[in-house]
Amino acid sequence: MASNLVYVLNGPNLNLLGMREPEIYGSDTLDDIAAMLEDRARDLGLEIDLRQSNHEGHLLDWLHEAQAEGARAVLLNAGALTHTSLALYDAIRSIKTPVIEVHISNPHAREEFRHKSYVGMAAKGSIAGFGPKGYLLALEAAAGL
């Protein structure tokens, strides 16, 4: 039986949600998203462990930890590291824990440099462009794994 633990990992600048470019990312803060996820996780019989770091190495360590802890899944919004980090790609490929890529905006509708996703190339699936509700969609997907 799969664990009920789902890691929710957030990368660079996501600590600024609610203040950073609200026309793109909306007015919800990361704390708002955490509260929304906690409520839905409870309904699904899941537990979330939400973390944010501006440092790539922390995300790598947490992906490894999710595997070691037997997590059901990882929801990963790697921010701009999505488009640059071969290390995240390798880490996702190196663990058995399914990773679901999440983006608040739709990277394919933005600047061209955002169109390539190393995270997406390694992830089980991707959810983008639905605002903070994308996290809920990803949690639903994780519940079904």
Reported as a single tens digit per residue, the pLDDT across 64-94 is 999 999 999 999 999 999 998 999 999 999 9
Q: Which residue is associated with the tokens 């679901």?
A: 100
pLDDT at 23: 74
Average pLDDT, the chain: 92
CB crowding 69-95: b at 16 or more within 10 Å, else e: eebbbbbbbbbebbbebeebbebbeeb
CA dihedral 45, 144, 18, 112 (to 10 degrees): 170
Question: Does residue 44 surpass a pLDDT of 60?
Answer: yes
Catalytic residue among 25, 64, 108, 118: 25
Tell me the per-residue pLDDT of 105-128, one tens digit each, with 9 for 90 and over: 877 767 686 678 899 999 999 999
Would you call 83 a catalytic residue per the annotation?
no
Return the residue matching tokens 């462990």: 49
- The structure's pTM equals 0.92
25 counts as catalytic: yes
Q: Which of the residues 58, 64, 103, 118 is marked catalytic?
A: 103
